[in-house]
Structure 1
Amino acid sequence: MEIIAGEGVALAKVGESRQVVEDRLGPPVHPGRGSKAVYHTSPRLVLSYQADDTVEIVEIAYSGDGGEEVFFDGVQLTYRFMDDVVADLAAKGHECEPIDIGYRCKPGFAIFSMGSRSARELDPQAAADDPRQVCEGVSVASYSYLAGPTEDDIVEHIRRQEAARGVEISAEEIRKTMGF
């Protein structure tokens, strides 16, 4: 399955309505938790919907075991060693920067590992404690969306939460408490 960076995949794009997606794919096989829904595709699509029922982010899982995988610009992204994927993307001129569980890549996708796959699955000669990460999935959205919240966003969120509880706290106090 080929991703369209910053947009999604041919079957589901950021901004499309749930109705449009489900007319194309059918109902989800698992409605997920909250705004997420899992669709019967190969590889599996996991879509997150916004409150207005439009696609916010498209996630695609690895297939493994010879199933269809996820590609971008001729590079297989899923079910490969993360470092190899990043090197192949860099060779094609695509910038990737480390994030907590993988890499965020321009122009708009992230590759990630949840640590549930072992290096031995790709390299039978790997030691049991081989630290190489296997790319388990891809998230597609705008590059800025994938950056996550800024420190200012976090401070403002906490300030609003506290205000809703009737507690007034300054941004400076929050920053000090959070170590920002």
Structure 2
Amino acid sequence: MPLVKVGDQRAEVESRIGDPVHGRPSSKDVYNTTPMLVISYTPDDRVELVEVAYSGDGGEQAFFDGVQLTYRFLDEVIADLTAKGYTSIPSDIGFTFHAGFAVWSMGSLWARDLDPDAGEDDERSIVEGVSVAPFAYWDESEVEG
């Protein structure tokens, strides 16, 4: 059984993974899981969005259909998913997939984190996280294309 699914009740989630790290529940809570989860809840305490953070070198990463999503170069992730037939729309920080997830980079990692031979000016983005929700969750005004 997955740790959390969109639509789950907060009580169900917390019975499986424990309380949020900051204690008092809010509309967006962080959980001490591996990889770390950030869960957004609706006003009636249902899971609306699940964000999965990268774990770094050697840590647990997020996968979808056999493709490692986090802690890889964004262009490689997109190429692998496109080759499997998944379609997406670019956003200002990554790509939103019609299958119900987005991969993104906030620019806190640089190419040398994955490729020791990368130059100082290498601008390749590294996927730092995955957001999971139905495609309709993302407001079309926030997604280019």
Larger radius of gyration: 1
CA-to-aligned-CA distance 1:62-110 (integer Å, 9 cap, x gap): 0012001000000000000000000000111111221111000121000
Taking structure 2 as the reference length, the TM-score comes to: 0.92
Number of aligned pairs?
A: 142
Cα RMSD for the two superposed structures: 1.8
Note if contact 1:97-1:104 (Cα within 8 Å) is conserved in structure 2: yes
- Contact 2:110-2:125 at 8 Å conserved across structures: yes
Structure 1 counterpart of 2:86, from 94, 116, 124: 94
Q: Of Structure 1 and Structure 2, which has the larger fraction of its residues in helix? A: 1
- Runs (5+) with no aligned partner, structure 2: none
The residue aligned with 1:68 is 60
- In the other structure, the counterpart of 2:13 is 21
TM-score (norm 1): 0.75
Deviating runs (4+, > 6 A) in structure 1? Answer: none
After superposition, the C-alpha distances for 1:28-79 in whole angstroms (9 at most, x for unaligned) are: 1135894111111110010001111111100000001200100000000000
Contact (CA 8 Å) 1:64, 1:79: kept in 2 or not?
yes
Q: Structure 1, unaligned stretches of length 5 or more?
A: 1-8, 152-180
Please tell me the residue identity of whatever aligns with 1:113: S
Mapped pair 1:112 → 2:109:
no
Specify the alignment match of 1:133 in structure 2: 125
Percentage of matched positions with identical amino acids: 58
